[in-house]
Amino acid sequence: MNSRIFIVAEKLKEEYKDFNHKNKVNPLDELIFIICSIKRSESRYLLAFQDLKRAFPSHQSLSEASLSRIKRVLAPYGLQNEKALAIKELLRSIIKAFGKPTLSPLRKMGDRECEAFLLSLRGVGRKVARCVMMYSLGRAVFPVDSNCWRLCHRLGWIHWRHKVDVISSKDMDLLQAMMPEQLRASLHLNMVFHGRNVCTVRNPKCCICIIEKHCPRIFGHNVGTRQYKSG
């Protein structure tokens, strides 16, 4: 299994060059960026985050802004009520923990402590916590989003047990443990891109897939439910 993971990681890296999804180096920015991205297309959430930064250049100014002002900035991109509230609550909890709107203290924490703190924040699950850790703190974790999950399943790396949207913490831990530490970030970045553009939920483009030789789906093995059969 390990050698298959290495080969697939290498092929994806060769093709996508550790695709830049425009995530943020500052962990609090990354968390806010993720909130902006929920249920929105890439073009919209990039603009939403940009507008938010323009309106509130510092985390301090964002934390002092009224809920209604944050809502107004996010309004063109939708879900402004939920997202503005989530941002306010997040900042409130962080200020309570660290005395100011910053996640810099996470840099001094070990992986476990860091993940536990992020998970203690309302609305932050394991995938989001690990995205912040990977993108902004350089930790060797493997965030499992629906693209990574689907690909790992289709490649036969994990058994299919749930609907694609339901990824348990246990499954996330299992996949993370399977991935060699040095490949985790690269695999995540490139699997997200491959899953969005080639190995899509419906009608995956197997005929142009650069890892099709390593995919049991091609050989007619049972790798999924009807949902995955191309039309």
Per CB under 6 A, residues contacting ligand SF4 are 151, 154, 198-199, 204-206, 209, 211-212, 215, 217-218
Return the C-alpha torsion angle 175, 142, 190, 52, nearest 10. 140
Place of tokens 């080969």: 7
Shortest reach from residue 222's CB to ligand SF4, in Å: 13
Among 75, 197, 214, CA closest to 155: 214
User: Looking at beta carbons only, is 130 or 154 nearer to ligand SF4?
Assistant: 154
Shortest reach from residue 195's CB to ligand SF4, in Å: 8
User: Looking at beta carbons only, is 176 or 200 nearer to ligand SF4?
Assistant: 200
- Could you count the other beta carbons within 10 Å of the beta carbon of residue 204? 22
Shortest reach from residue 161's CB to ligand SF4, in Å: 18
Shortest reach from residue 41's CB to ligand SF4, in Å: 21
If you write DSSP's letter for every residue of 75-109 in order, what string do you get? Answer: GGGS-HHHHHHHHHHHHHHHHHHHSSS--GGGGGS
Among 5, 3, 15, 39, CA closest to 146: 39
Shortest reach from residue 217's CB to ligand SF4, in Å: 4
User: Looking at beta carbons only, is 119 or 210 nearer to ligand SF4?
Assistant: 210
Q: Estimate the share of the chain in helix, then strand, then coil, as percent rounded to the nearest 5.
A: 65, 0, 35
- At 195, the amino acid letter reads G
User: Looking at beta carbons only, is 59 or 217 nearer to ligand SF4?
Assistant: 217
